[in-house]
Structure formats: structure tokens, C-alpha cells
Structure 1
Amino acid sequence: MSDWSDPFSGAADWSTPTPLSVAPTPAAAATDLRGRRVLVGWPGLGWRGDLRGDDPVVRGARTFVPVLPEADWYRAEAEQVEVFAPLVPVERVWVETWAAPADEVSRLVSLDGPACRGPAPVLDAGPLTGRRVVALVDGVEQRDLRAVTELHAGADDEVCVRVADELDWYRWAWGGQPPTTRPLPVWALWAE
């Protein structure tokens, strides 16, 4: 059995680069919003995430973005049903894009827009169940995953976290069907 005081023991490849950071961009500058992860809010007030956008709608001289909670968006796509999407003024919507992580991250941010969020190794991320994670294996990122367990001993006593695709995560909520999961080693996972 491996030494639990050292979760880094084993065949981990610690030379793996860091995944890209989430870097919000104003939706007015985006060309395709359908299904994209978005944030809504107001500078100086605050921001809300775990939302998906749709193609902008023009009403008179104003542009609006239909915005849905992710659970509703996944259900509408999976079951091909209509769902209500509030129209949010485009100037209050930001699209999650990806950028290289900053060398130095400050906890003090500007309230002019949503803050960039750098990835954190899952060992440093605190509680994981339900959180969005990124798998980074052989330099390839896989996003839109949710952790369904905390850290545990996997095959060969390697420290792992079980993950599910977000669609399966949300299907679990609306249909009760447990998601298909797979264990991934901690060295390949980052919390967003």
C-alpha cells in the first residue's frame, strides 16, 4: 500500500504543463455564443457563472443574449425540448475564453469585469465533489468535467478522483440516472 502521507508517490508525471486559465471576454466581441459558457453581472456589483449563452437577439437598437443555467441548457440539448431563456443585455454578458496562466496571480482584482481564474491542482483545491475540473493528459486538455468524488485510492493505490462529463452530471440531477464515471489520477486534474 502506498504511503498516504505522500500522495505524490507513484508514476505521476509532474512535468505536465498547467491548463489554460479562464479569461472572460465581453460577449459583444464574440462571434458565436451558442452553447458557450458565460458569466452575467454588472461591474462593481458581482458575477454569476455556470450559465450557457445562445446566439444574440436584436430588439430595436439593443442586443440581448439568451442565457440559461447550465442544467437547463444541457437538458434542452439532450432532450430537444424548448426552455425559457431570459434575455440579458449584451453589455452584461461575458464569455469564458482560455488564456495562458499568469505568472503571478493576485487575489485582489478589479471590479470592472469578471476576474480571470487560474486552474488549481486538485490537491490544493479543497473539496472537489461537484466542482468543474480539467483533465490534462499528454498536453491535451479535456474540459466540461465534474468531480463526483473526493480524493481516494484507485488502482495500484494511486490517488484518484472520479469524474463525469457535465452532460451526465446534469442528467443525474434531472433524471436520477447516476453518471458514467472514470477515475483520473490527481497529477492529471486541475480545478477551475
Structure 2
Amino acid sequence: MGVDDSAAGAPEPPPALVPVPAARAIDLHSSRVVLGAAGSGWQFDLRADDPVTRDGMLMVPLITEADYYRAVDGDGDAYASLVPAGDVYVQRPEPGTGSPRPGYLIERLCDPDAPPVRRPYPASEVPHLVGRRVWFWTDGLFRDDFRCVSEAFEIDGDFCVRVVEERAWYRWRRTGLFPKAQDAYIQHLWTQ
């Protein structure tokens, strides 16, 4: 549960997750996606599989992230919903997009009829971290499959947050088995 002392510096922010129409994506298998339509709204925390054609229409199989990790763990079958490909957007990292400050509402305004871009925010600037998916700078690269299981705390003058791999987080929710947590420097975490 100790903090990795070899990487105390803060790297540049991870890229924003930009929604790309599923019909333009090459490989959808296990991709994180957004579902929705103009005038209705948007759902996140979904996974897709490769599109299929039903009655001449391109459809994308979708499951919740919880069902995805249940299937990955071999703990039962996941049943997908087939939705029109035109309502599905793949979340793709867009290099060089950085992270704006969360700040004022005017800076966060968007088009409600288009899937929103998910910009990373430094975990140090975001309240209520427990349960949030984060980018974690570890071993010299960003990983986007971690969840926070604590709020910020202090260890020997450094601010940290306890995190677990997302797969273990979903297993914990499903089975009650506690995951192996690790302490991460807060400057190595960005929320999604």
C-alpha cells in the first residue's frame, strides 16, 4: 500500500476523451462508449463490442461497465443491448488537449445535443473522489483503469489518494471481496 517514491514529479495532464461516432471507429471491442441522442441526453460507463447488421441496420452491442468486468472475471454471462450505431460514440484520447481549470461555469458550457468531451481535471482540484475513475500516472505512463477508494490524505508531508484497479473495484461491488489498494500521489491522478 506504499507510495511509489521514484515518481514524485507531476507529469503533463492526460488527454481529453473525445467522442467519435462508432460508425467511424475501426475496432469497437471492449471500447468505452457514450450512448445518447440530441434532445435526449448522454450515458457513460458503457462498453461496446464490434457492430453487427440486423435487418439492414448497423447495430452496436452495449453492456454496462459492471457487466463487462463481471464477464472479464468469468463470473457469468453479459447480455448486450443492441442499439443503432448512430447513437453510439467511442471515447478516444486526443493527444495534446491538456486540462483546463474546472473554474467557472462559463468555461464548462457545451452543446447539449452532442456528446460531451471528458476533460481530465487534477484530482487535487476535485472534491468527492471516492468512486471516481481516474487517469493514474504510474511506471512512466497513464493508465485509465483505476478508481479512487478514499479521499485525499497525508503521508509524511505528501498528499495521496488510495486507488484500486477498476476491475477489482467492480469485483468488490459485486462480491464484497476487498481489492488490493495502493496509495498514489495526488499529483499523479486526474479525474475522468
Q: TM > 0.5 between the two?
A: yes
2:114 alignment partner AA: G
Q: Does 1:13 align with 2:9?
A: yes
SS at match of 1:144: strand
Q: Please tell me whether the aligned partners of residues 16 and 99 of structure 2 are also in contact (alpha carbons under 8 angstroms).
A: no
Q: Please tell me whether the aligned partners of residues 17 and 139 of structure 1 are also in contact (alpha carbons under 8 angstroms).
A: no
Q: Could you say which residue in structure 2 is the equivalent of 1:166?
A: 166
**1:149, 1:104 → 2: CA distance?**
24
If the length of structure 1 is used for normalisation, what is the TM-score? 0.87
**1:159, 1:102 → 2: CA distance?**
22
SS at match of 2:77: coil
Q: Could you say which residue in structure 2 is the equivalent of 1:8?
A: none
Q: Can you list the C-alpha shifts for 1:49-76, whole angstroms capped at 9, x where unaligned?
A: 0111111111121011111110001101
Structure 1: which 5+ runs fail to align?
1-10
Larger deviation: 42-51 or 135-144? 135-144
2:168 alignment partner AA: D
If the length of structure 2 is used for normalisation, what is the TM-score? 0.87
Are residues 167 and 178 of structure 1, via their aligned partners in 2, closer, same or farther at CA, if it must alter by over 3 Å?
A: same
**1:126, 1:180 → 2: CA distance?**
23
Q: Could you say which residue in structure 2 is the equivalent of 1:175?
A: 175
Larger deviation: 135-144 or 65-74? 135-144
Q: Could you say which residue in structure 2 is the equivalent of 1:130?
A: 131
Structure 2: which 5+ runs fail to align?
1-6, 102-106
**2:98, 2:169 → 1: CA distance?**
30
Q: Can you list the C-alpha shifts for 1:138-159, whole angstroms capped at 9, x where unaligned?
A: 75111111001000123x2321
Alignment of 1:44-123 (within 5 A): 44-79=39-74, 81-99=76-94, 100-101=96-97, 106-123=107-124
Q: Could you say which residue in structure 1 is the equivalent of 2:186?
A: 186
Q: How many residue pairs are counted as aligned between the two chains?
A: 180
CA positional deviation for 1:104 = 6.0
**1:75, 1:104 → 2: CA distance?**
34
**1:48, 1:98 → 2: CA distance?**
18
